Amino acid sequence: MNNFLSRFILTFSLLLSVYCVSGQTFLFQETFDEVNGSNSGVDNTANNVGWNSTCPSSENAQDYFNVQNGKLEGRDTNGEAVFTTDAIDISVAPQGVILRATFSESGDLEGCTPGCVSNCLDWVRFEWRVDGGPWTLHPASIPCTNASAGSSYILLGNMAQPQETFTSGCISGDSLEIRIAVANWAASEYWRIDDLEVFTEQSTGQDSTLSTCDTASFDLFSALGSNPLPSVSGVWSGPSVLSNGSLGTFTPGVNVSGVYTYSLPSNLCPTSTDITVNSIISIEDSTQLTACDSVQVGGLWYSSDTTLVDSFVTASGCDSIVTVEV
């Protein structure tokens, strides 16, 4: 081990988690790659979460809500058709998860009468619930809450762009269920759903303590562990201003000891990691001893002019040098 590395003592202080993330980690991911006509399946992760779709008002085989060409497609549903998932285990992500889905359509879809007074015809509703609790509408839902309109919807009528992706805020709990409902009323009208995902965001690493007696600068990012990916959006805060942005370069003599916090403001689920830095100065001390005859130093007797130099390694791993002149 070289001298530079020997002067660092790195102690991880939080916990060794059985769940590590690097970038996004998917707890549920459905690309609807089942065979055409499927109205049930399991997602693409190793969790094998089941899902199903129903179209109770279909009048014939041309009215459906099932997999078609890599998407979940609703055609001429003649009322509400519903997709639901089994419970997704999100307890492994205590920092929270994000839910995301992509929608598209074709045909001449109608919305509601002005002001959502009544007759909401062609729509999509996107909601979820945590730990078996009440259903939560996506916050971007269009409010149509009067009795005639029936609900609030993420999409109403023709879309302004070819496709649109809707992302939740941070969702925390032990289990998550997803429900998406669609409605349309003509054989030429289609709603399509793709890339339904539940994932964790990038980790900020693990809390740790770093002690150093070296005078060379070093990056605190390397003390976060192996989980975080380099990110230009990473931010450091603490008792003094670090250099080099997300790398968090600490310069002994310029920066002071203390707790420095790394965070990713772009994450929808707030997360941060603390690095405690102890910047220790090496000790060099000199002492002069004068005696008429002889003097004992370190268990040995000296009777002539002598310079004694000894070095020690402190409990923190730093060198201390003591010089005694006799």
Interval 43-99: pLDDT, tens: 999 999 999 999 999 999 999 999 999 999 999 999 999 999 999 999 999 999 999
Question: How much is the pLDDT for 220?
Answer: 94
State in Å, rounded, how far the first CA of the chain is from the last one. 36
pLDDT at 43: 97
What pLDDT, on the 0 to 100 scale, is given for residue 211? 87
Return the sign of the alpha-carbon dihedral for residues 313, 319, 324, 325.
Answer: positive
CA distance 188 to 44: 30
How many Å is the Cα radius of gyration of the chain? 32
The pTM assigned to this predicted structure is: 0.76
Q: Which two tokens stand for residue 32?
A: 């609807």
**Helices assigned H by DSSP within the chain:** 3-6
| pLDDT, averaged across the chain | 84
pLDDT at 264: 92
Tokens representing residue 189 in the block: 């009208």
Which pLDDT does position 300 carry in this prediction? 66
Per-residue pLDDT at 12: 32
Residue spans of the chain under pLDDT 70: 1-22, 148, 226-227, 281-326
Measured from the Cβ of residue 55, the count of other Cβ atoms closer than 10 Å reads: 21
